[in-house]
Structure 1
Amino acid sequence: MTTVIQNVKLLNEEGELVVSTIVIENGKIASINGDIPAGATVIDGIGHFASPGFVDVHTHLREPGFEHKETIATGSASAAKGGFTTICAMPNTKPVPDSVENMQLINGLIKESAVIRVLPYGSLTKDISGEVRTNMQELKEQGAVAFSDDGIGIQLASTMYEQMQQAAKLDAVVVAHCEDNSLIYDGVMHEGKRNKELGLPGIPSICESIQIARDVLLAEAAGARYHVCHVSTKESVRAVRDAKAAGIKVTAEVCPHHLLLEEMDIPSDDANWKMNPPLRAADDKDSLHAALLDGTIDCIATDHAPHTAEEKCCGMVGAPFGIVGFETAFPLLYTNFVETGKWTLKQLVDWMSVKAAQIFDLPYGTLEVGASADLVLIDLDKEQTIDAEGFVSKGRNTPFNGWTAKGWPVVTMFEGNIVYQEAE
Structure 2
Amino acid sequence: MKTLIKNGTIINANESKKANILIQDDKIISITTDEPSADIVIDANGKLVMPGLIDIHVHFRDPGFEYKDDIITGSQTAVAGGVTACCPMANTNPVNDNATITRDMIEKAKKRGLIDLMPIGAITKGMKGGGITEMGEMSEAGCVAFSDDGLPVSSSDVMRAALEYSAFHGSFIINHSQDCSLCRNGHMNEGLMSMKLGIKGMPREQEEIMISRDMLLAKLTGGHIHIAHVSSAWSLKLIETAKKEGINITCEVCPHHFTFDESELENYDTNYKMSPPLRTKADVEAMRDGLKNGVIDIICTDHAPHHNDEKQREFDKAPFGILGLQTLIPLTLNLVRDGVISLNKMVELTSLNPAKLLKLNDRGVIAEGYLADITIVDPDFEYLYDEKLNKSKSQNSPLLGKKLKGAAIKTIKSGRLVYDFPNVVA
Same-fold call, TM cutoff 0.5: yes
Quote how far apart the aligned CAs of 1:389 are: 5.5
Distance 1:255 1:14, change over 3 A: closer
For structure 1, the residue ranges without an aligned partner over 5 or more in a row are none
Q: Deviations over 1:113-135 (max 9, x none)?
A: 35111111111101111111111
Distance 1:221 1:10, change over 3 A: same
CA contact (8 A) 2:53 2:84 kept: yes
* Partner in structure 2 of residue 352 of structure 1: 350
Distance 1:39 1:408, change over 3 A: closer
* Partner in structure 2 of residue 407 of structure 1: 406
Question: How many angstroms apart in 2 are the aligned matches of 1:39 and 1:374?
Answer: 18
CA contact (8 A) 1:389 1:396 kept: no
* Partner in structure 2 of residue 226 of structure 1: 225
CA contact (8 A) 1:19 1:47 kept: no
* Partner in structure 1 of residue 4 of structure 2: 4
Secondary structure at the counterpart of residue 179 of structure 1: coil
Equivalent residues in 2 for 1:299-314, closer than 5 Å: 299-314=298-313
RMSD: 1.6
Quote how far apart the aligned CAs of 1:325 are: 0.3
CA contact (8 A) 1:226 1:249 kept: yes
Q: Deviations over 1:202-232 (max 9, x none)?
A: 0110111101100011111111011000000
Question: How many angstroms apart in 2 are the aligned matches of 1:353 and 1:312?
Answer: 31
Answer yes or no: is 1:275 the counterpart of 2:277: no
Quote how far apart the aligned CAs of 1:14 are: 6.6
Quote how far apart the aligned CAs of 1:271 are: 1.1
Secondary structure at the counterpart of residue 267 of structure 1: helix
Question: How many angstroms apart in 1 are the aligned matches of 2:172 and 2:75?
Answer: 23
Quote how far apart the aligned CAs of 1:39 are: 5.0
Secondary structure at the counterpart of residue 390 of structure 1: coil
Quote how far apart the aligned CAs of 1:19 are: 2.5
* Partner in structure 2 of residue 382 of structure 1: 381
CA contact (8 A) 1:119 1:145 kept: yes
Question: How many angstroms apart in 2 are the aligned matches of 1:100 and 1:293?
Answer: 39
Distance 1:285 1:38, change over 3 A: closer
* Partner in structure 2 of residue 66 of structure 1: 65
Quote how far apart the aligned CAs of 1:12 are: 6.3
Secondary structure at the counterpart of residue 407 of structure 2: strand
Question: How many angstroms apart in 1 are the aligned matches of 2:288 and 2:151?
Answer: 25
1:11 partner letter: I
Give me the TM-score of the superposition, normalised by structure 1. 0.96
* Partner in structure 2 of residue 287 of structure 1: 286
Quote how far apart the aligned CAs of 1:378 are: 1.1
Equivalent residues in 2 for 1:106-121, closer than 5 Å: 106-121=105-120
Answer yes or no: is 1:82 the counterpart of 2:81: yes
1:277 partner letter: P
Quote how far apart the aligned CAs of 1:35 are: 5.2
Quote how far apart the aligned CAs of 1:326 are: 0.5
Question: How many angstroms apart in 1 are the aligned matches of 2:327 and 2:290?
Answer: 22
Bigger CA drift: 299-308 or 108-117? 108-117
Question: How many angstroms apart in 1 are the aligned matches of 2:129 and 2:422?
Answer: 45
Candidates 321, 336, 339, aligned match of 2:337:
339
Question: How many angstroms apart in 1 are the aligned matches of 2:129 and 2:13?
Answer: 45
Distance 1:39 1:367, change over 3 A: closer
Q: Deviations over 1:288-328 (max 9, x none)?
A: 11112222110101000000011000132111110000001
Question: How many angstroms apart in 2 are the aligned matches of 1:124 and 1:12?
Answer: 34
CA contact (8 A) 2:187 2:199 kept: yes
Quote how far apart the aligned CAs of 1:259 are: 0.1
* Partner in structure 1 of residue 162 of structure 2: 163
| Number of residue equivalences | 422
Distance 1:269 1:160, change over 3 A: same
CA contact (8 A) 2:291 2:341 kept: no
Answer yes or no: is 1:298 the counterpart of 2:325: no
Bigger CA drift: 141-150 or 104-113? 104-113
Question: How many angstroms apart in 2 are the aligned matches of 1:152 and 1:291?
Answer: 25
1:186 partner letter: N
Question: How many angstroms apart in 2 are the aligned matches of 1:353 and 1:113?
Answer: 22
Work out the percentage of aligned pairs sharing the same amino acid: 38
2:391 partner letter: V
Question: How many angstroms apart in 1 are the aligned matches of 2:132 and 2:185?
Answer: 27
Quote how far apart the aligned CAs of 1:109 are: 2.1
* Partner in structure 1 of residue 364 of structure 2: 365
Question: How many angstroms apart in 2 are the aligned matches of 1:97 and 1:417?
Answer: 30
Quote how far apart the aligned CAs of 1:388 are: 4.6
Quote how far apart the aligned CAs of 1:393 are: 0.9
Quote how far apart the aligned CAs of 1:15 are: 4.8
2:138 partner letter: L
CA contact (8 A) 1:7 1:45 kept: yes
Quote how far apart the aligned CAs of 1:69 are: 0.3
CA contact (8 A) 1:27 1:415 kept: yes
Distance 1:41 1:276, change over 3 A: same
Distance 1:39 1:134, change over 3 A: closer
* Partner in structure 2 of residue 249 of structure 1: 248
Quote how far apart the aligned CAs of 1:147 are: 0.7
Question: How many angstroms apart in 1 are the aligned matches of 2:14 and 2:123?
Answer: 41
Secondary structure at the counterpart of residue 295 of structure 2: coil
Quote how far apart the aligned CAs of 1:157 are: 0.4
1:338 partner letter: V
CA contact (8 A) 1:173 1:360 kept: no
Secondary structure at the counterpart of residue 219 of structure 2: helix
1:344 partner letter: S
* Partner in structure 1 of residue 172 of structure 2: 173
Secondary structure at the counterpart of residue 7 of structure 2: strand
CA contact (8 A) 2:3 2:38 kept: no
CA contact (8 A) 1:15 1:345 kept: no
Question: How many angstroms apart in 1 are the aligned matches of 2:331 and 2:13?
Answer: 24
Question: How many angstroms apart in 1 are the aligned matches of 2:396 and 2:168?
Answer: 40
For structure 2, the residue ranges without an aligned partner over 5 or more in a row are none
Question: How many angstroms apart in 2 are the aligned matches of 1:5 and 1:155?
Answer: 49
1:31 partner letter: S
Question: How many angstroms apart in 2 are the aligned matches of 1:381 and 1:233?
Answer: 31
